[in-house]
Amino acid sequence: MSEELSGGEDTTAETDGDDSPNGYRRLEGAQAEIRDAFFEADSGLFVLDCGPGAGKSVTADTVAAEDLARKVHDGVESPTETLCLTSFSRDDAASILPGVEAALRGFAADPEAPVDLAPDAADELGGSLRGSDRVGTIDSVLGAVFEAVAEEVGFDGVPDARDDADGDERYELIDIAAVSHI
C-alpha cells in the first residue's frame, strides 16, 4: 500500500504556534487525510510530496508519535521497531527524533489528545528511538538493512553506494517526508 498526497499550502490546524506546550498539532486537510490513511492500513509507505513549509515534518512526527502511542496502548512489544522514519537530507533527518519526542510529550500532556499516553511511556519511547537504525537519512536506514543482509544475499560486505569517496550525500531531490509501517 502506498499513499501520496500533494499540496503546497500549510494545512496544519491553528494552535498556540510552534511554542505550544502540547508539542504536537492537530492535523487538518491533506495532513489529516494521510494520517487517516496511515491508520486505516495494515502496512505501507506514506509520502507527503509538497513544498517547504507545508507541514511534512509536523505531520510525520505527529503520525509517528500517535502510532507509537497506540502500539503501547495495544501492548505491542518493541513498538519503535515497527516504524521507519526517513528523510533525504541530514538536516531534516536530525529533526526527526526531537519532533517525534515533542509530539509524544504532547500526547502525554494533553487530555484531549487522540490517544492516551503516560508521561513515563512517552519518555521511554523517545529513549528507544535514540540510536535506532530505523530513524535517519534514507542512506543510513538502507545502509543498516544492507549491513544486516549483505552476506546472506551473496555480497562480501556492504557495497559503497555513495556519490563520492568521502561519503558526502548529494541530493537534488524533491522535498519529501516519509513514514512507513513495517
Task: Note the pLDDT tens digit of each residue in 50-84.
Answer: 788 888 888 999 999 999 999 999 999 999 988 88
C-alpha cell recorded at residue 101:
519526542
Which backbone phi and psi does 163 adopt, to 5 degrees? -70, -30
CB 48 within 8 A of CB 176: yes
Amino acid at residue number 4 = E
CB 84 within 8 A of CB 68: no
Which of 1, 3, 98, 96 lies closest to 49 in space, CA to CA? 3
Does position 130 have pLDDT exceeding 70, yes or no? yes
Q: What does pTM read for this prediction? A: 0.72
Which backbone phi and psi does 86 adopt, to 5 degrees? -130, 160
CA distance 130 to 118: 19
Q: Which of 56-60, 124-128, 151-155 has the lowest mean pLDDT?
A: 151-155
pLDDT band at 96 (very low <50, low <70, confident <90, very high): very high
